[in-house]
Amino acid sequence: MPAPLLRALRSAWRRFRSRGIPLVYSARYQHGLWGAPFDPLRGEKVLAALADAGLLPREALMEPRPASLANLLRVHTETYLRSLHEAEALTRILGTPVSSRAAEAVFDLQRLMVGGTIQASRVALRLSGPAVHLGGGFHHAAAGAGAGFCVFNDVAVAIARLRARGYGERILVVDLDLHDGNGTREIFAADPTVHTFSIHNDDWSAVPAIASTTIALGAGIDDERYLATLRDTLPAVVESFRPGLVFYLTGADVAHDDALGNWRLSRAGVLARDRLVTELARGHPLVIVLAGGYGPRAWRYPARYLLWLASGRSIEPAADDDIALARFRRLHLPAGDRDVRADGRPFSLTEEDLSAVQPAYSLPPRFLGTFSRPAVELQLERVGLLAQIRACGFRHLRVELAADGGLGDTLRVLCDDGTRDELIMELRAHRSRSVVPDFEVLAIEWLLLQNPRGSFSESRPRLPGQQHPGLGLLQEVLAWLIFICQEHGLDGVAFVAAHYHIAVQSRRLVRLLRAEDEALLHALTTALDGLSLADAATAVAQGRVGTGDGAPFTWRPLTAVLPVSEKLTGRVSGEAYEAGVRRSSEPIALRLLPDPEGEAARHPDGPPR
Ligand SMILES: [Zn+2]
């Protein structure tokens, strides 16, 4: 080989090496609340071991985003997701009593970890090599039930997402956690394109699957027996199944010193296992997730594996004291150098973090006193609102909830593109018995639906009060609000139309509360007939509508209702109401006054409008 080419290849190889093994991890993983003796610092310590060995280039580290509920729904049933909003459901899965605050923290953490496995699968496919998620491996979770600390099956969701995006090659899941990968096997039981391979101590379920290898070895297994079983089975599966992508659950609970395990694998035995799987998957995209491993020393197994993966050599991770020091250094790198979290704060403690470690600190806000944030998000997903917003180009959505004391609850949908938040939707609402006398309604104080990236144009002119163009999703929002009214037994939705165009835009669905207002709006639309909505709104805002005697008409905010109960429907559409509208219509005579600047605008030399 000519020397220059050789040099070029060597430098390309060094560049590749220096980028390190792609690692997905979030500092938020430290705040997990588990029923198991699970070391919350496991990922931190693995990173510190890599950094200590000089094998953690900054660009190798990636921050996951929480999986969307739309992705979770590709695997899990809606009924199951809804059940998780109650602390009791998580108590069953985790096997230990959890408060509602803790339940939400677990929900969020596992959801973030599903995002981590998705992220790792994306990178592994792009690089056609290994990518590591320092979390995940919730293999007991089935479509409609969680078990054994597993809420969402991250590997299954990542696979279902790839399938939805057209990835058609066969997928092999090598699950070498001590425990049975029963959830994953059940989810893909009828799918011949996903082979689930699991060697474990005991079977968790006997559900047969079309493409699977299930081997239960019992208790007390040592290196020899285990590695022989693995060598006898896995190479043949890889050979015959010919996967295009491999997921590997490198559970460390097979080790002799695991706090929960009942096997006797040595550290050399566990590393030999990891190397064997990696060698078999060489040349393939390989997604590595950590899965089980309990107790303060569990981190050393994945650390040993990744040190080997990153260097090609067997390196023993530094001693625990040194790792504590390496962690400290990692957290105190100079400002420009440290890993900045998605929220822009490098490993800072937030009020939220404190709440997570101290459940009594505060209760999570509930929309209208009832719906948790995940519950609201699930509703928005089911009415299709989030899908529509994503279709507008806003991919990474976040739903936030804030309880504002007596002011009502505020819901926000934001798009987080990694550098900043864009506000898409903001809704403040409360239950009210006073806005519409004799009825209890959902009173909307504020609703903003905007496309922060959109610009106004000839066909989408700026309407009064708008900072950005709308999204055209009012119908979806109203559909969701109707659902909320039904859930709460409320009579309907009420809001004040502060501008003419709002009253007109919502007119197909809502009625004005007072018959005389309905008559007034009818008279206005008649007077403004023939104008575009923007021109009509501008004419009203500029006071260019006059009464019969020429006096200018001034817009006043009108209360509008979207009736849900029969009682309120009768109130705004019954005979008495219609008679009221007819009675009020007669004395109203409105007409459009000439635009004083209209003439000038038609002349090129005139002042701009
Ligand atoms: Zn396990």
**pLDDT category, 457, cuts 50, 70, 90?**
confident
pLDDT at 425 over 90: yes
| CA–centroid distance, residue 357 to ligand 1 (Å) | 25
Q: For 90-132, what is each residue's pLDDT tens digit?
A: 888 887 777 777 788 888 899 999 999 999 999 999 999 999 9
d(CA 186, CA 208): 8
Question: pLDDT tens digit string along 245-270?
Answer: 999 999 999 999 998 899 999 999 99
Q: What is the mean pLDDT of residues 504-511?
A: 81
Q: What is the mean pLDDT of residues 573-586?
A: 87
What is 307-334 written as a DSSP string?
HHHHHSS--PPPPHHHHHHHHHHHHTS-
DSSP, res 370: T
Q: Please give the model's pTM, rounded to 2 decimal places.
A: 0.68
Cα 178 to ligand 1 centre (Å): 5
d(CA 250, CA 292): 8
Dist CA 318 CA 324 (whole Å): 10
Residue 367: is it exposed, middle or buried by C-beta count within 10 angstroms (0-12/13-18/19+)?
buried
- Rounded to whole angstroms, the Cα distance separating 262 from 129 reads 33
Ligand 1 centroid to Cα of residue 151, in Å, is 14
Cα 475 to ligand 1 centroid, rounded to whole Å? 46
- Quick check: 32 and 42 in contact, CB under 8 A? no
pLDDT reported for residue 342: 40
Residue 149, phi-psi category: left (phi > 0), alpha (psi -120 to 50), beta (remainder) = left
Cα–ligand 1 centroid distance for 177 (angstroms): 5
What are the residues whose beta carbons fall under 8 Å from the beta carbon of 341, sequence distance 6 or more? Answer: 26, 27, 28, 63, 347
Q: Ligand 1 mean position to 102 CA, how many Å?
A: 22
Instruction: Please give the single-letter amino acid code of residue 450.
Output: Q
Q: How far is the CA of 149 from the centre of ligand 1 (A)?
A: 10
Distance, CA of 25 to chain centre:
16
pLDDT of 131 reads: 96
The rounded distance, in Å, linking the Cα atoms of 197 and 105 is 31
pLDDT one-digit tens code per residue, 51-76: 888 888 878 899 999 999 999 999 99
What is the whole-number distance in angstroms between the Cα of residue 35 and the centre of ligand 1?
A: 13
- Please classify residue 569 by burial: count the beta carbons closer than 10 Å to its beta carbon, then call 0-12 exposed, 13-18 middle and 19+ buried: middle
φ/ψ of 276, rounded to 5, equals -60, -45
In three-state form (DSSP H/G/I as H, E/B as E, the rest C), the secondary structure along 207-259 is CCCCCEEEEECCCCCCHHHHHHHHHHHHHHHHHHHCCCEEEEECCCCCECCCC
* Maximum average pLDDT range among 171-185, 396-410, 490-504: 171-185
Instruction: Please compute the mean of the pLDDT values over residues 344-362 and round it to a whole number.
Output: 40
Q: What is the pLDDT of residue 407?
A: 58
Distance 247 CA to ligand 1 centre (A): 16
- Please tell me the predicted confidence (pLDDT) of residue 527: 86
How high is the pLDDT of residue 347? 38
Residue that has been written with the tokens 């023993």 in this structure: 316
Q: Which is more confidently placed, 206 or 549?
A: 206
The pLDDT assigned to 353 comes to: 40
Render pLDDT for 1-34 as a digit per residue (tens, 0 to 9): 556 655 655 554 454 445 678 999 998 887 665 5
Please state which of the ranges 82-91, 503-512, 598-607 shows the lowest mean pLDDT. Answer: 598-607
